[in-house]
Amino acid sequence: MTNPLTEQFSAPLTFNWALSYSCNFACSHCYSREEQCDELGTAELKQIIDRIAAHQVPFINFGGGEPLMRKDLFEITAYARQQGLNVSMNSNGWLLDRAAAEQIKASGFRSVGISIDSAEAALHDDFRNRPGSFLRAVAALDALAEAGVRSTMSSVISRINHKSFRDLLDLAREHRVSQVYLHNFKCSGRGFKNREDLDLTPQEWKDFYLVALQVKQETKDLLISFDDPVIASLPGYEENPLVKGSSCGKLSLNLRPNGDITPCGFIPLVVGNILTDDFEEIWYNSPTLNKMRNKEAKGKCQGCNVYEDCLGGCTARAFATTGDLSDPDPHCWK
């Protein structure tokens, strides 16, 4: 089947890669706390890197789980750099002291994102279920800056921070962060269980994004990024994304610790295994990926005048709440 996306891209641009689901935290919104999966050894991880490099995927981003729980993280990263890959990771910062920052620098990380969800220490610690985690996260940002590593800050927008997100931007400035990601809330794993307490209503999401887009326009000293396709219809949205709708399965894929490939970390549909299956067969012919690339408007999306821009919003959220990849994003306010 001819597909405009795969005619343009012979592989994703990014593999988001959970080396392990082990974590020293148990955050309120985490998708992966109940995930169980075999982990691969260092040699197999290097085989995966060889395959990723062979398919010219330029970026890998380690997540999980906490990437720094893997003892071979720096060895794997240095190997990936040797193969020409650009490596980043998202960390909670707990294990990222000055010595770790130096190793991060030496192994060749392009950037490191630290998760901080509130500029108020107590709120962050409560959300992350770990006393002292705010101070360690902020110290991690400072350690990265001292080591000369580009840092970013990842903040999941939820009920605890949607009205005070400007404080997060100020915090980022204070700690020499170059970019802040204001992530949309995903209803997966603990995020699904806790969504009554944490998720916003569709109208609250609209209100948040209207303000946040304006702040983004006015902000010159800090990059502010969103990853939510549902905002495509809003005034002030001036991004020119490479693809419309969710980028999962189009520009990015997700790797589980055993090498299984899913469209994204929040959609637990395995489309193949990078070590045992033919990657091109997966990329070009996976029915799941092609369904995500060719969504059909369902429910209230049918006849909606912005569907061509948002393509139904976040596919992961739709799937988590209804089990159908093509259903409307439950965050949509229209």
Partner 1 sequence: MKRLQRNPDIVWRVEKRRQQAVIDRLAAGEESGDEGTVILLISGMMHQLNLLGGMIWAQCDGSRTLAQIVTQLQAEFDVETALLQADVQEFIDDLIERGWLSYDQSTD
129 binds partner 1 (CB under 8 A): no
Residue 296 CB neighbour total at 10 angstroms: 12
Q: How far is the CB of 10 from partner 1 (least distance, A)?
A: 5
| Choice from 1, 2, 7, 71 touching partner 1 (CB under 8 A) | 7
**Measuring CA to CA, how many Å separate 17 from each of 61, 209, 255, 321?**
6, 28, 5, 24
| Choice from 3, 35, 37, 59 touching partner 1 (CB under 8 A) | 59
* Span from 55-63, 180-188, 252-260, 265-273 in contact with partner 1 (CB under 8 A): 55-63
Q: How far apart are CA 48 and CA 42, in angstroms?
A: 10
202 binds partner 1 (CB under 8 A): no
Residue 164 CB neighbour total at 10 angstroms: 12
86 binds partner 1 (CB under 8 A): yes
Rounded to 5 degrees, φ, ψ at 234 are: -85, 150
Q: How far is the CB of 196 from partner 1 (least distance, A)?
A: 35
Q: How many CA atoms lie within 13 A of 69 on its CB side?
A: 17
Tell me the number of residues near partner 1 by CB under 8 A: 11
Largest CA distance in the chain: 56
Residue 324 CB neighbour total at 10 angstroms: 13
Strand order in the sheet with 111-115: 223-226, 179-183, 151-156, 111-115, 86-91, 59-63, 14-18, 252-255, 260-262, 272-273
Binding mask 242-261 for partner 1 (x = CB under 8 A): x-------------------
- Shorter beta-carbon distance to partner 1: residue 33 or 51: 51
Q: How far is the CB of 6 from partner 1 (least distance, A)?
A: 8
**Scanning residues 8 to 27, which ones bind partner 1 (CB under 8 A)?**
8-10, 13
Q: How many CA atoms lie within 13 A of 282 on its CB side?
A: 22
* Span from 20-28, 38-46, 54-62, 305-313 in contact with partner 1 (CB under 8 A): 54-62
Which residues bind to partner 1, rule: CB under 8 A?
7-10, 13, 56, 58-59, 86, 240, 242
